[in-house]
Homo-oligomer: A and B are copies of this chain.
Amino acid sequence: MSDRRPVSTESAEFCTPCLVLDLHAIRERYEEFGHALPGADLFYAVKANPDPRLVAFLVGLGARFDVASRPELELCLAAGAQPADISYGSTVKKERDIAFAHRSGVRRFAVDSAAELAKIARCAPGAEVFARVSCVGTGSCFPLEGKFGCAPAAPAAAASLLVDAAAAGLGAAGVSFHVGSQQLDPGAWRAGIADAAEVFRRVRARGLRPYLLDLGGGFPAHYDAHVRPLADYGDAIRDAVAAEFGDDRPDLMIEPGRGLVADAGTLYSEVVLVSDRDGAAGPRWVYLDVGRFGGLAETEGVLVRYPIRTARDGGPRSPVVLAGPTCDSADVLYRRRPYLLPDDLCAGDVVRLLHTGAYTASYSSVGFNGFAPLRCVCTGDPADGSGMSVRAANVAV
């Protein structure tokens, strides 16, 4: 990223906080997914970063889209996505939103309960559904088990849902699962693939022809150096599919969000105050103009630790506690494991938080303590020379 830094932070007009998303890096990562899992359809999980320009860029690359709501669906349609390339992946939908999606041409819906299936049968006749099975999120920073997925006795329950779907006139497309976000273990997909194969066997025995295996998301960002390359994930997944499905391989679908866009984001923030408030013995406190409520919600519990760069890097460093600008005591980013930052860092300096492209702007509060939501600026799109226009976009505060 640093070689392609598109924004001059020296500029007086530069306005922080601001998330800069490098579309060139996203294109490279998109292609990396294609190499790691050839033939799998990539449905971008829009919730990770719903920036309209990013979505339009992904439409141009040929991506498909996993949406969680009607507004996300409308966003994708407005960006040029075809309804057939959109999967309504939430298992919790209002009937009128299902009906809207169906009217718009969306044909693929997730279910994990009989009550949701009944809604789809009523509001989206002729659509296809995939049944989500619960998946233990071991190895993930953000497990998703417990809230989503048929459970307990997942394969039996999912098979039953698919049989009921067919009886209700819907297509029984297949199975989905999610190994948990920021999954560090490439082997974590294996159990879900085995469960899915069991569901396939059960519904085939009832005469149905499921064809779709949705492997979900969970592909990790590179917050630290221990994250393994995407190819390792592809290999582990292909091996597991071959072992569980043999020659009768289903169509594969993946839903990366964080794994596609996080690494391409750099969040620029200004230091508002450096204070020795714990006395000479304690770490300095560094207050930034962005914090827990302005986009850095995932710093909670220190699960995500963004690398931080400053223009003063290279000299002596000492521990600091990082905090956000609000009058809320929860707005402390890293306290248990203080960062080492330059001794001469001072108010007015700009710091860069790396790998911040996902679950930052979209988590931002609408204006807690009056601070505006985190802006997102896209750059690096060779089609329009956007790298040149970022400065201008930042002028308007």
Contacts and interface: CB of A to CB of B under 8 A. Distances in A.
Contacts of A328: 47
A94 B152 contact: no
Given A94-B289, A362-B367, A363-B293, A68 B273 contact: no
A326 B325 CA distance: 27
B94 A270 contact: yes
Contact of A332 (B46, B147, B293, B371): B147
A330 B85 CA distance: 28
Interface string A352-383: 00000000011111111111110000000000
A296 to B, nearest CB: 13
A275 B116 contact: yes
B327 A115 contact: no
A151 interface: yes
Interface in A122-151: 142-151
Nearest to A150: B277
Nearest to A330: B142
Interface residues of A, number: 73
A99 interface: no
A235 to B, nearest CB: 27
A344 interface: no
- Copies of this chain present in the complex amount to 2
Contacts of A149: 277
Given A330-B142, A367-B362, A92 B272 contact: yes
Chain B CB within 10 Å, residue with most, of A143, A144, A146: A146
Contacts of A72: 369-370
B47 A152 contact: no
Contacts of A279: 151-153
A92 B332 contact: no
Nearest to A331: B147
Interface string A267-306: 0001011111111000000010100010000000000000
Contacts of A326: 47, 68, 90
Interface string A312-339: 0000000000010111111110000000
Given A275-B116, A276-B113, A277-B113, A367 B329 contact: no
B93 A329 contact: no
Interface string A33-47: 000000000000011
Contact of A366 (B146, B323, B348, B364): B364
A329 B144 contact: yes
Contact of A327 (B90, B332, B368): B90
Contacts of A146: 329, 332
A369 B97 CA distance: 14
7 contacts: A46-B370, A68-B369, A72-B369, A113-B277, A114-B276, A145-B329, A365-B365
Interface of A: 46-47, 50, 67-73, 75, 89-95, 112-116, 119, 142-153, 180, 270, 272-279, 287, 289, 293, 323, 325-332, 347-348, 361-373
Given A145-B329, A365-B366, 13 more contacts: A47-B368, A71-B371, A92-B325, A93-B272, A113-B277, A114-B276, A115-B273, A115-B274, A147-B331, A151-B279, A152-B279, A362-B368, A363-B368
